[in-house]
Structure 1
Amino acid sequence: MTVLEGNEDQVSIGIDAAVVADHQIAIRGPGVREDFRASPTLAGMAKLTERLSPYAGSLVVVEPTAGTWLPLTMAVTEAGCRIGFVQNRDSARLRQAINGRTKTDVVDADMLARCEAVLGVADAPIPLPGQVGLRRALRRRHHMTVDAHRAECRLWSLAIWAMPDVWRAAGGHAVAQPLLGRWPDLRALWRARLSSITEIVAAHSRDKDPTRRAERIRDAAQGWHEFWIGRLDLDDLAWEIAEMCDDIDIADQRQREATDHALERWRYHWPDDVLLSVLGVGPICAATTRAWWGDGHHLRSAKAAGAFVGLNPSNWESGLSASPSRSITKEGPAEMRLVYYQAANVARRRDPQLAAHYRRLMCERGHTHIQANCAVARKLAARTWAVLHTGEPYEPRDLDGNPIDEATAAQLAVELEVPTDTRRRNRATNPRRGRLDLR
């Protein structure tokens, strides 16, 4: 570990935040060693402010637990102190290095008091009231998105073993999911009108012959119905599929409600947001950026912006071995990481510079789509930070740096599309490298 240089007379303060119990506070410095508790109540916050007031200007390091960081921030700043946060996994590693397997509230608070020197914890900006509400709405939206995806995965897993030919005939979840939502019973699916199945196939796919695919789906349903007779209770199977489809619908509805609320608050606090000028950045990405970054002035550089989102590649070195450009650090909020990944997938189709960067990684360095798209997301975060700092709308440019309009930019990006055989080859080289995990 590298200990950062600092003032020898500086007082270090750590707070082990608690949700139900009292907060544990440790104050360390030359001739100073205090340990006390403060309840999360109004009286406890007043006590904390009073006890920290003699150390105004010091940095208080907190391991955020649930929403306790917000009242602690107010109490600490009222005492004239600064506040910084350290992620749970970082503090856990430091605690294990210092105290091994010993874990108590006093040990945690003492360890947090050392984080300023060991980890170089920086001051955290105080969020505006609108940011706090927007952040919580987007966090709920993120949870609903994850819940919906998990519900879909459960349905896919069941369909793949219970009726794999139906799944393959449908060509994946885009068609299979609405089909099973309408006909969860195999008997009903293979007896359904061909025109009804064709209508769903045409609405959820780009198949040039939806009728032919509908025939294959119905034949597959009939085959698996006959296969399971006497071996599996089809009524139970239909009930389970219907329940899973209901879970997906409920999660999707909750996600839409959270999305609507978040966008409403974002438009209220940031009307005509300049972030929308960045190609690929839509309302959700702009709202998420404002929720966690605000005006972005607490981030000193574009690299700091990428590190905040957790999109920087990690490095590993030992002796003569070195593995640069490994998996991303995932140090930032998962909500920002996911929306920037999704926004990058749009930006590379609209911005020629990002399209060229994506193509170079795919064609020359053998990256998978997920790896290359994470690199594009990192560049997109840097551009968003630049727009926040300058306050000027983003101006698309061609590969030579000349200003162009959005239509021309999109046309140039299309010309840089990665060939299909390259995508297939990169996936086949190492299938596990193509799995997305942005937690």
Structure 2
Amino acid sequence: MRLGIDVACRAAHQASLADATGRYLWSGRRFRTTVEDLERLWAMLPEGTEPSSVTVVMEPTRNAWVPLAAWFRRRGAVVVLVPPEQSADLRTYYAKHTKSDRLDSRILARVPLLHPEGLHNATGLGPGDALRRAVKLRSNLVKRRTSILARLDALLELLGPGWHAALGADLANKTPLRFLAHYADPHQVIRLGRARLGRFLARHSRGSWGEDKADQVITAARETLRLWSEELDYPELADDIAIEARLALQLTEEIKELEDRIAALLTKADPDAILRSVPGVGPVLAAQILGRLGDPHRFTSLAAIRSFSGLVPKLDSSGRSARHGGPTKSGDACLREALFMAADQARRSDPSLAAKYHRLMTEAGKHHNSALCHVATTLLTRIAACLRRGEHYHLTDTDGTPVTTQQARHIIAQRYTISAELRTARRTTHPAPGTGRRNKESRRAPSTGPSTPTLRARQPLDIR
């Protein structure tokens, strides 16, 4: 039996039941995510139906599918997920100008017959998994803090360049954030004085900053007053800066607490520390990769894992012509983010990965980001193989000889070092023609004359 369910977030779901031949037994039955409705829907199956012979087909609609999948799995049914774009294409093929929840449920009930390769078994909890949620939340919080620090940096530019020099380039440090949360008004800084400001900085920096740093901040404040005089509204600007600083501090505390919780979840999910044995993968990236990848045994092959990451290139092949494009990006974006950062560190510690990166940069002429995507795909394949076999990652030379971390770094420094000139050339992208945010100058002045240098007499039309 094939039970297709069109999942709704707020409205009622709709279900359709078909047999193995695709013949509908019933369709368009409405129900909600309650035990009573689910029991009533299950009772509508034909008598004598074995629970293991029932396949429930759904789309991963937000998080509404997770409790449904868990309930049907407890009943013994097989739950599979279908990418929304595939079911949408099938619906368009059957009814181009019609879209309804009932039609969607009927299409999903026939997907196992029409496209069995597009089914993916839903074995885990999905968004219900604590590690999967935690690493995604941490990634979002880090991005939010980065945007806040960028706005804070822009606000400090209004006060003048002396503030960046006095507080340091890294505003993610808690000491400058605590200072800006209280004393961003130049008048207030000068009134505070050298001694009190020095004690404040020393207390919040654990002695790293003192009266010398206070002198630099006071100098920056006086330079701001000379630059702006009283034209700038200092209290209003200080309030804006304080809001951004307090938000950054709060996010920093939340990220720290979240990382402690992620560390405990990672120890439980990976007790043998297999992921932490991979070069370039620390506790944070290990948790992010494992949380977003899930159980590697649920994939049919290593190629399926690479495809799930979205790092594999697009392919347009027909006859004798074939063209590869950029990454498909069809998988988990949080997983790709972790793999990209891990690959950038792993190529500095693994000679085989360093050799591949060196070849792509020097011989293939790849851009730095493109080469890292290739390295990330190889790294993901090795990580999945280690997790499947339950073995730690072992560093080897390009010929397979085991090496230590120190020997690996020495080999990379000797053989696979890329010159600064080549790295700069590979990192530089060619600007698009025309003006833009980085290039305000027009490529050439517009023509003021006619499009042709000479005027031609109009020729009569030949209508014969």
Quickly name the TM-score band, shorter chain normalised: 0.7 to 0.9
Within the alignment, does 1:49 sit opposite 2:39 as a pair? no
| 1:362 counterpart SS class | helix
| 2:4 counterpart SS class | strand
Supply the distance in 1 between the matched residues of 2:16 and 2:323 (Cα, whole angstroms).
39
Within the alignment, does 1:37 sit opposite 2:34 as a pair? no
The alpha-carbon deviation at position 431 of structure 1 amounts to 6.2
Give the alignment's TM-score, normalised by structure 2: 0.73
1:184-229: CA deviation from partner (whole Å, max 9, x where unpaired): 6362799697x98xx99xx9xxxxxxx9xx97x9887765554444
Equivalent in the alignment of 2:345: 346
Supply the distance in 2 between the matched residues of 1:69 and 1:172 (Cα, whole angstroms).
48
How many residue pairs align between the two structures? 407
1:386-434: CA deviation from partner (whole Å, max 9, x where unpaired): 10122222211112221112221233234424332223222323369xx
Identity across matched positions, percent = 31
- Return 5+ residue gaps in structure 2 as ranges: 206-211, 433-464
Supply the distance in 2 between the matched residues of 1:139 and 1:297 (Cα, whole angstroms).
22
Equivalent in the alignment of 1:374: 373
With 344-353 and 162-171 compared, the bigger mean Cα shift is at 162-171
Equivalent in the alignment of 2:12: 22
Supply the distance in 1 between the matched residues of 2:323 and 2:185 (Cα, whole angstroms).
51
Q: For residues 78 and 253 of structure 1, do their structure 2 counterparts lie closer, same or farther at Cα, with a shift above 3 Å needed?
A: same
Q: Is the 8 A contact 2:166 2:220 kept in 1?
A: no
Equivalent in the alignment of 2:356: 357
Equivalent in the alignment of 1:67: 63
Equivalent in the alignment of 1:397: 396
The alpha-carbon deviation at position 143 of structure 1 amounts to 2.6
The alpha-carbon deviation at position 24 of structure 1 amounts to 1.7
Equivalent in the alignment of 1:272: 272
Equivalent in the alignment of 1:257: 257
Give the letter aligned to residue 26 of structure 1: S
Equivalent in the alignment of 2:332: 333
Equivalent in the alignment of 1:247: 247
1:29-74: CA deviation from partner (whole Å, max 9, x where unpaired): 5431522122101122323433457485354322223333332223
Q: Is the 8 A contact 1:52 1:76 kept in 2?
A: no
The alpha-carbon deviation at position 376 of structure 1 amounts to 1.6
Supply the distance in 2 between the matched residues of 1:224 and 1:43 (Cα, whole angstroms).
69
The alpha-carbon deviation at position 295 of structure 1 amounts to 4.4
Q: For residues 138 and 367 of structure 1, do their structure 2 counterparts lie closer, same or farther at Cα, with a shift above 3 Å needed?
A: same
The alpha-carbon deviation at position 173 of structure 1 amounts to 5.1
Supply the distance in 1 between the matched residues of 2:410 and 2:97 (Cα, whole angstroms).
58
The alpha-carbon deviation at position 92 of structure 1 amounts to 5.1
Give the letter aligned to residue 370 of structure 2: Q
| 2:330 counterpart SS class | coil
Within the alignment, does 1:153 sit opposite 2:150 as a pair? yes
Q: For residues 330 and 57 of structure 1, do their structure 2 counterparts lie closer, same or farther at Cα, with a shift above 3 Å needed?
A: farther
Give the letter aligned to residue 285 of structure 2: C
Within the alignment, does 1:133 sit opposite 2:130 as a pair? yes
Supply the distance in 2 between the matched residues of 1:111 and 1:264 (Cα, whole angstroms).
43
1:274-318: CA deviation from partner (whole Å, max 9, x where unpaired): 222222222233333443445411222222112112221223469
Supply the distance in 1 between the matched residues of 2:65 and 2:230 (Cα, whole angstroms).
58
1:231-266: CA deviation from partner (whole Å, max 9, x where unpaired): 432222222122112212212221222221122122
Give the letter aligned to residue 81 of structure 1: A
Give the letter aligned to residue 315 of structure 2: N
Supply the distance in 2 between the matched residues of 1:238 and 1:180 (Cα, whole angstroms).
13
- Return 5+ residue gaps in structure 1 as ranges: 1-10, 204-210, 433-439
| 1:120 counterpart SS class | helix
Q: For residues 261 and 93 of structure 1, do their structure 2 counterparts lie closer, same or farther at Cα, with a shift above 3 Å needed?
A: farther
Q: Is the 8 A contact 2:274 2:390 kept in 1?
A: yes
Equivalent in the alignment of 1:296: 296
Equivalent in the alignment of 2:451: none
Give the letter aligned to residue 35 of structure 1: G
| 1:324 counterpart SS class | strand
The alpha-carbon deviation at position 385 of structure 1 amounts to 0.8
